[in-house]
A = this chain, B = another copy of it.
Amino acid sequence: MYAGEVTTPPSLRADAARNRERLIAAARRVFAEQGLDAPIEEVARQAGVGIATLYRRFPTRDELIAAAFDNKMAAYADAVGVALADPDPWHGFCGYLEAVCAMQASDRGFADLLTLSLPTAKEFEAERARAYHGFVELIDRAKATGRLRADFVPEDLVMLLMACAGVITATADAAPGTYRRLLGYLLQAFAGPGAEPLPDPPTPTAMYRALLRLQGR
């Protein structure tokens, strides 16, 4: 923690700071229910603020997204820590995946975010990297117990997040909770020694490029 408070950078006029908070609150609501490509004007409207005000404070969509999700992103990275603290690595591993998928299910914007990379938001990608490294450690420990199959790779998490996002966007309204069943199946597949060999995973760099895909649709 440095001196400068993250949510209100350098001395903003009182009303400006208030509007900034309103915008962030509105963005969280709008992104949560409509996803990351929701109309930016809707955010301004829900915040009770002019469009110009929004653009002055957040010149690009990515900056607004970064501001709206920094807390969830931190929570996401922290979740690995919780999992690592579990005395049973496999139990921690399962709990971690459940927690992350539940976060996706409760926020469409966040589900989008986890399967996307915003190179602009650097302190943001740092959180992602922190989560990633913790997860690699978690994998190692879980494999050591023999409960997690040996051919599991970190990219499988990204794949899982994408699959889960697909189920969630399709079922969020009419059949919420379906994603739990998908996760249940996958956890059983991740467990124990793999009976059959799996198709090769994508390389880390290929998967990273997939995360960079231009957003929208």
Contact = CB atoms under 8 A, between A and B. Distances in A.
Interface of A: 34-35, 37, 115, 156, 159, 162-167, 169-171, 173-175, 177-178, 180-192, 194-196, 198-203, 206-207, 209-213, 217
Contact of A169 (B166, B194, B198): B166
B175 A163 contact: no
Contact of A159 (B35, B178, B207): B178
Contacts of A185: 156, 186, 189-190, 198
Nearest to A115: B170
Contacts of A191: 195
**A contact patch SS:** helix
21 contacts: A35-B217, A115-B170, A162-B166, A162-B170, A162-B171, A162-B178, A165-B166, A166-B167, A171-B207, A171-B210, A173-B210, A174-B210, A175-B203, A177-B202, A178-B207, A181-B199, A181-B202, A185-B186, A185-B189, A188-B194, A188-B196
Contacts of A182: 159, 163
Select the residue from A196, A203, A213 with max chain B CB neighbours within 10 A. Answer: A213
A61 to B, nearest CB: 16
Copies of this chain per assembly: 2
Nearest to A210: B174
Contact of A164 (B166, B181, B194): B166
A210 B186 CA distance: 22
Contacts of A209: 173-175
Identify the interface centre among A162, A195, A203, A211: most chain B CB within 10 Å of its CB: A162
A118 to B, nearest CB: 15
Nearest to A153: B181
A37 B216 CA distance: 12
Contacts of A199: 177, 180-181, 183-184
A205 to B, nearest CB: 9
Nearest to A38: B217
Contacts of A166: 115, 162-167, 169
